[in-house]
Amino acid sequence: MENQQILITGGSGFIGSNLANELAETNDVVVVDNGYLGTTENLTGDVEFHERNVLEDDLPTEVDVVYHFAALSSYAMHEQDPQEGTRVNVEGFVNVVEQARRDGCDTVVYASTSSIYGSRTDPSPETMDVVANTGYEASKLARESYGEYFSNHYDLSIAGMRFFSVYQGYGGAEEHKGEYANVIAQFADDIAAGRSPKIYGDGSQTRDFTYVDDIVRGLVLAADHELDGIYNLGTGEAYDFDTVVEMINDELGTDIEPEYVENPIPADVYVHDTCADSRRIRTETGWEPEIDLGEGIQRVCSQYDGQ
């Protein structure tokens, strides 16, 4: 992607800032973020930043491509104020896409979630039935329904990306997320500091951990190919939390045992296992994950060299 006008909402957050910094090398990138989950310290590229809310009018939507990531992006955040979560996650999405459509943009890529698949150890295809067990999941399914509407009614190319457990580590753009950062970032920081990482439950839960650079490449390809519909972005390989702790210990040369604590998320809504079937985006764009978990953990742990 080159010489495009690009808007990224939530663009100073974790995934958004990584994408903004990558695209700013060859494109004109505008970031909209209200600072709730993002920080301008994440933006190292030459971007135009607007501290705005996605519910506002007159957003900078005269662009070629919109990437929409702005959201209350977890179960806990949404449950604190379900009405606000709905406004931001659903109304904010519709507001941004409608303004962009009126300004002539016809390519949108947005964040959905893989948690709507529930707990599955087998790879989850986009065609399987999904269920909203939480307000957060309901808001993302509503996004997908409105995305379908914009595609069918206005002929937009609008791709919803179901991310699978994206990570980078505190040496990247995750540190500001704190307790909301991926467990790999949290575990590595605890172990490097000599603290026992806390695992909710017994450590047997699994995730399809996907390094952020692979996610960024998938997002760029989604816009380049003007994808339309729903797509998984994940590696297709899942690892349990105990194994992740072992791999981090091996990488750091430590031997710190985890602390197992009661899971604060109710068992009937907690997603115990995830794994992506990403054949659709692989077939339509040629995307392949390039960074396996071993290399990803090496990158996360590299910031602690010499400590």
Amino acid at 93: F
* 104 and 200 part of one domain: no
The parent domain of residue 172 ranges over 168-206+238-274+291-304
Angle, CA of 224, 62 and 38, to the nearest 5°: 75
Q: How confident is the model at residue 225 (pLDDT cuts 50, 70, 90)?
A: very high
List, as own/partner pairs, every contact residues 89-92 make where C-beta atoms lie below 8 angstroms and the sequence separation is at least 24, other chains included.
Answer: 89/136, 89/139, 89/140, 89/142, 89/143, 90/139, 90/142, 90/143, 90/146, 91/55, 92/9, 92/53, 92/54, 92/55
Given a cut of 90, whether residue 112 has pLDDT beyond it is yes
* 64 and 26 part of one domain: yes
* 28 and 144 part of one domain: yes
Q: What does the pLDDT look like over 79-103, one tens digit per residue?
A: 788 898 899 999 999 999 999 999 9
* 151 and 42 part of one domain: yes
- The CATH code of the domain that includes 258 is 3.90.25.10
- Number of independent structural domains in the chain: 2
pLDDT of res. 221? 98
The two tokens of residue 77 are: 């955040």
Residues 6+ apart with CB under 8 A from 80: none
Helix (H) or strand (E) holding 198: strand 198-200
pLDDT of res. 307? 60
* 88 and 188 part of one domain: no
* 76 and 60 part of one domain: yes
Cα first-last separation, the chain = 39
* 175 and 216 part of one domain: no
Q: For residues 137 and 279, what is the distance between their CA atoms, to the nearest angstrom? A: 23
Angle, CA of 37, 42 and 226, to the nearest 5°: 80
* 104 and 246 part of one domain: no
* 258 and 123 part of one domain: no
* 112 and 197 part of one domain: no
* 185 and 82 part of one domain: no
- Distances in whole angstroms, Cα of residue 109 to Cα of each of 24, 28, 93, 222: 17, 17, 11, 7
Q: How confident is the model at residue 75 (pLDDT cuts 50, 70, 90)?
A: low
Q: What does the pLDDT look like over 193-221, one tens digit per residue?
A: 999 999 999 999 999 999 999 999 999 99
pTM: 0.96
3-state secondary structure 143-189: HHHHHHHHHHHHCCEEEEEEECCEECCCCCCCHHHHHHCCHHHHHHH
Angle, CA of 287, 218 and 127, to the nearest 5°: 80
Given a cut of 80, whether residue 10 has pLDDT beyond it is yes
* 39 and 83 part of one domain: yes
